[in-house]
A and B are shown apart, each in its own frame.
Chain A
Amino acid sequence: NAGVTQTPKFQVLKTGQSMTLQCAQDMNHEYMSWYRQDPGMGLRLIHYSVGAGITDQGEVPNGYNVSRSTTEDFPLRLLSAAPSQTSVYFCASSYGTGAEQYFGPGTRLTVT
């Protein structure tokens, strides 16, 4: 199993540009989440999904969209990038409630 994969590993955007961060898992996990990690602040939940077709907002959803058309994929879209979105983004998946979460390798995003 590849586990949780994320692309790209690094990205630089200009303010106002849009892009999609990709996340995929091959473990048939129902639950998937997106977090961002900023220095000194731990990780914060952006959006999450409990299954294909079901998504909900987390703690810091503004400026981001998600969709879950398949169990395997959970892309995160930045609608109009802002410097405040400079961060490291992690995707995670888990089998169910109370289960261990597996994190992807992360995408380091810089918005200038």
Chain B
Amino acid sequence: ELKVEQNPLFLSMQEGKNYTIYCNYSTTSDRLYWYRQDPGKSLESLFVLLSNGAVKQEGRLMASLDTKARLSTLHITAAVHDLSATYFCAVDRHETSGSRLTFGEGTQLTVNP
């Protein structure tokens, strides 16, 4: 059974600071996704990581994937209040029949002025 664990689950940080969210998963996979969810809203796709060593950046967020360690990170640089949201990582379980995601519990990020 595939398990996906995120930590921390709750993160309160000050504007301007840097921090990293970690996503560990339990079985072999080279397809990992990061999503953002605002309260009461749907999920917004942030990054799709499809190979070992993949690194993607968008604004103040950078995601990476290490398939050998079964670890992905989401790094936040110089946080701003607008980044406050819940962030989920999700892992795809099958190579041939895609779109079967297993999600982590989510990291609730609060950026304080």
The listed residue (B45, B95, B102, B104) touching A100 by CB distance below 8 A is B45
Selected interface stretch from A19-27, A41-49, A65-73, A76-84: A41-49
Contacts of B33 in A (CB 8 A): 100-101
Q: Does A75 contact B (CB under 8 A)?
A: no
Interface residues of B (CB under 8 A from A): 4, 31, 33, 35, 41-45, 48, 50, 88, 90, 92, 95-106
Per-residue interface assignment for chain A, residues 72 to 112, with 1 indicating a CB less than 8 Å from any chain B CB and 0 otherwise? 00000000000000000010111011111111111000000
On chain A, the number of residues with a Cβ less than 8 Å from chain B's Cβ atoms is 30
Known: A43-B101, A97-B95, A97-B97. A90 touches B43 (CB 8 A): yes
Interface residues of A (CB under 8 A from B): 31-33, 35, 40-45, 48, 50, 56, 58-59, 90, 92-94, 96-106
